[in-house]
Structure 1
Amino acid sequence: MGFVEELKTGNFSLYGQWCALLSGVLLIVLGVVTLIAHPIYSILAIVFGAICILIEIPFLLKLCPTGPSFDRAFGGLKNHWWRFVAYLVFAIIMWSSLAKGGGILAIGAVTVTIAAACYLVAAVKKQSKVTISMLGGSGVQSHHGFDTTNALPI
């Protein structure tokens, strides 16, 4: 299933994952760009961006050696509510960078806020956790009604 088909599903879990991945990339890039001007918020942006990417691409967590404390801290983020709370905290901190003149970091704050909103909607609607199929996720049912998540590769 491609990007366009995933957008048509109406599953806010997918929308949240796309926004969170975009946020992760933007936060890392913007954090590096503003490192000299706003070192504290830039470092936070880089850390938040890395966390967003690690949360949303579970395959990366398998590559990184993690300890029990990391697993306890981030293991619960499989739930829509916990992801909403985590991204909301990231967004609030990034929005607070505006008070210190970190204007360009607001772009990352906007995308993290959208990701948090998507996960909130997914949680309120009690939508199932679905991950982006392009990244090896579970995907969603195809338009033919068949579940292609366990299909054999052709």
Structure 2
Amino acid sequence: MGFAEEVRTGNFSLYGHLLGLLSGVLLVVLGAVTILAHLLYSILAIVFGAICIIIEIPLLLKICPTGPTVDSMFGGLKNHWWRFVAYLVFAAVMWSSLAKHGGILAIGAATVTLAALCYLVAAVKKQTKVTTSMLGGTGVQSAYGYGV
């Protein structure tokens, strides 16, 4: 099953995963671009972006040796509800950057908000946790038993 077929499945967990990845990249890039203009919010954006990338790419957690502290910190984020709460907190902080005229950081805030909403819908619908197979995740094919 290719990427297009994975996206067409209607699994909001997958949409949240993809938006979380996009958010992570955008937050790191936008944080780096605005670091001189908005030091505090830029640093927060870079940290939040790095956390989003670590959470959303399962291969990174498999490759990187982690201790019990890191495992306990990120282990709870395997649940849709916890990811929703984490992304909601990230979004609230990034939206508050608008009060300090951090206009471009609103792009990252918008994508994190959309990722949080996708995880909320996935949690409410009790959908299976799915990550794209392109990045070492479960993939829709193996999660739902298509063609296995």
TM-score range, shorter chain: over 0.9
Q: Shift of the alpha carbon at 1:146?
A: 5.4
Structure 1 residue 63 displacement after superposition: 2.6
In the alignment, what sits opposite 2:111? Answer: 111
Q: Which residue of 1 aligns with 2:42?
A: 42
Q: Partners in 2 of 1:100 and 1:43 — Cα distance? A: 14
Counterpart Cα distance in 2 of 1:146 and 1:13: 16
Shift of 1:47: 0.5
What amino acid sits opposite 1:31 in the alignment?
G
For the pair shown, the structure with the greater C-alpha radius of gyration is 1
2:130 maps to what in 1? 130
The alignment of Structure 1 onto Structure 2 pairs a total of residues equal to 147
Give distance in 2, aligned partners of 1:70 and 1:146: 31
Deviation at residue 9 of structure 1 after TM alignment: 0.2
* CA distance 1:97–1:10, change in 2 (3 Å): same
**Gaps spanning 5+ residues in structure 1: where?**
none
In structure 1, the residue matched to 2:65 is 65
The one-letter amino acid paired with 2:141 is Q
Deviation of the 1:2 alpha carbon: 2.4
| Mapped partners of 1:53, 1:116: distance in 2 | 14
Counterpart residue number, 1:25: 25
Using structure 2 for the length normalisation, give the TM-score: 0.93
For 2:120 and 2:72, the matched residues in 1 are separated by: 22
Mean Cα deviation higher: 105-114 or 61-70: 61-70
Whole-angstrom CA distance in 1 between matches of 2:68 and 2:141: 34
Unaligned runs of 5+ in 2: none
Q: Could you tell me the percent identity over the aligned residues?
A: 77
Deviations 1:26-62 (A, max 9, x none): 0000000000000100000000000000001111122
Q: Which residue does 1:52 correspond to in 2?
A: 52
By how many angstroms is 1:133 displaced?
1.2
CA contact (8 A) 2:58 2:135 kept: no
